[in-house]
Amino acid sequence: MSRNAESTAFRSALEVIRAVEPRVADAIGAELADQRESLKLIASENYASPATLLAMGNWFSDKYAEGTVGRRFYAGCQNVDTVEALAAEHARELFGAAHAYVQPHSGIDANLVAFWAILADRVESPALKKAQARHVNDLTEADWFALRRELGDQRMLGMSLDAGGHLTHGFRPNISGKMFDQRSYGTDPATGLIDYDRVAEAAREFRPLILVAGYSAYPRKVNFRIMREIADSVGATFMVDMAHFAGLVAGKVFTGDFDPVPHAHIVTTTTHKSLRGPRGGMVLCGPELADQVDRGCPMVLGGPLPHVMAAKAVALAEARRPDFADYAQRIVDNAQALADGLLRRGATLVTGGTDNHLVLIDVSNYGLTGRQAEQALLDSGIVTNRNAVPQDPNGAWYTSGIRIGTPALTTRGLGATEMDATAELIHTVLSQTTAGTGPDGAASKAKYVLDPAVAEQVGKQAADLLTPFPLYPTVDLA
C-alpha cells in the first residue's frame, strides 16, 4: 500500500472520530507519538501492520455471530463465515495444524476453551453440563466444588510463576486455579533450565489430568517431544500455551522437538506478541478435540468479534509470506545480541542468555528491585516490565527481575548494532540508579534515586537510536 493511501486512511478515521469525541482522537494520535518515541522492549508487545489495524475498524464490529462457520445462532453471517474461515485456513497452513479455532478474544480465553474442551472430552457429567450451560464467570464457589466432585479432583501440572510460567496455568488468582488442583514444576536452581527428569518425577507423583508447557518469562527453548512423552507416561493431556513464541513457530525458527504443534494434544496462543497480529487468541488441535473446541462460544466465550477475526486473517496471511521467516529469525538474533551486550557489561541474566525472543535480567546485582529498575528505565525512555526470577525473594509485585524482548524493535528494523547500544543504555540506567528510602528512613522496594540528567541523556540517546527506524513510516497524521 502506498504512503498516501495509508496516511489518508488513518487521517480520515481520526477526522471522523474527532467530530464526535475529539479527546479520543487526541489520545489515539498521542499513542502513536508515544510509541514512535519509546524504546519498546516489552516482550509481549509488537506493532501490527497498517492493514491489520485497518481490518479492525469496519462494519464487522456490528455483527453478532455466535456459533461457528455455517452453524450460527444469528442470520446474515455469510461474510463473517468468510473471514473466520480464512483466518482458520491461514492458521492451519501456517502451523501445520489439523484444526484451528480463531474466536477467542484473548490468550486467557483461548486457555479456557482448551481447558473445557479437555474436560468435556474426558467426562460427561451433570455438573459439567451445568457449567457449559452458563457463563463461566457466573459459577459460584459452590458450583466449582460441585463440579470438581463430579469430575473427580482434576489436576494440572504447569511451570511455576517464578520460573517463567503464567497465571492461567492453574494459579489461584486466575479462574484456572478454581477449576484445577494445581502443582508446579520449576527449573534447576543452578542453571535456571527445565529439568525434564524432575518434571517426569512430579508427573508420576501428582498424576495430572493436564500437563501444561509454555511460558511468559523463560528465555530458552522447550523440548516438546520429551514433554509429550512425560504426559503420555501418566495418561495426561498435553497442552502447550505458545502465546509468547508463536511467531518463532510460524517463522520456522522453532522446529522439530521445539515446535509444539506436532507434539501437543492442544495448543493455545495469542495472535499479537511475536506473531504481530491483533490482540486476540486462537486454539489449535487435532480432530479428536475439534468438536469440543468449536463449542467455545457459547461455552465460555461471549459473541465472536468478527472485526478482530478479519484482522487475524490479515495478520496470519502476512505471517505466511517468506519475509516473516526472516523476521522471526531476526527476533532471536537480536535477543541474543542484546543478551551478549548485557553480559559483557556485567549484567546477570537468568539462564545466562536466551534461545528465544526474551531476556530476563536479575537486577539484584545492581542493588535494585524489579519495580525500581522498571520505573528508572521508563524515566529514561526505555519501556520494560518487571518480572519475577526463580526463587525470587521480592515476590511477584516488587520482583528482582526485568523482562525485555525484541519483537517490537525488530519490527522497526533495529539490528545487532542497535541491540548492543540498547544494552549500554540499560546498563547505564541500572548502574546509575540506587535504592531509595521511605519516610522512616528504611530501605524501600519501590523508591529509587536517579540523576535526572542521566535519565534525560539516556532518553535522548534512545530517541537518536530510533531515528533511522521510523515507526509506521507510511503513516503521516500531520
Which residues carry out catalysis? Answer: 64, 66, 241, 270, 273, 279
Distance in angstroms (rounded) separating the CA atoms of residues 201 and 207: 10
SS (H, E, C) the chain: CCHHHHHHHHHHHHHHHHHHCHHHHHHHHHHHHHHHHCEECCCCCCCCCHHHHHHCCCHHHHCCCCEECCEECCCCCHHHHHHHHHHHHHHHHHHCCCEEECCCCCHHHHHHHHHHHHHHHHCCCHHHHHHHHCCHHHCCHHHHHHHHHHHCCCEEEEECCCCCCCCCCCCCCCCHHHHCEEEEECCCCCCCCCCHHHHHHHHHHHCCCEEEEECCCCCCCCCHHHHHHHHHHCCCEEEEECCCCHHHHHCCCCCHHHCCCCCCCEEEEECCHHHCCCCCEEEEECHHHHHHHCCHHHHCCCCCCHHHHHHHHHHHHHHCCHHHHHHHHHHHHHHHHHHHHHHHCCCEEHHHCCCCCEEEEEHHHHCCCHHHHHHHHHHCCEECEEECCCCCCCHHHHCCEEEEECHHHHHHCCCHHHHHHHHHHHHHHHHHCEEEECCCCCEEEEEEECCHHHHHHHHHHHHHHHCCCCCCCCCCCC
User: Are 400 and 449 a contacting pair, CB within 8 Å?
Assistant: no
Q: What are the angstrom distances between the C-alpha of 132 and each of 124, 160, 210, 302?
A: 11, 29, 19, 13
Residues 6+ positions from 79 with CB-CB distance below 8 Å: 60, 63, 306
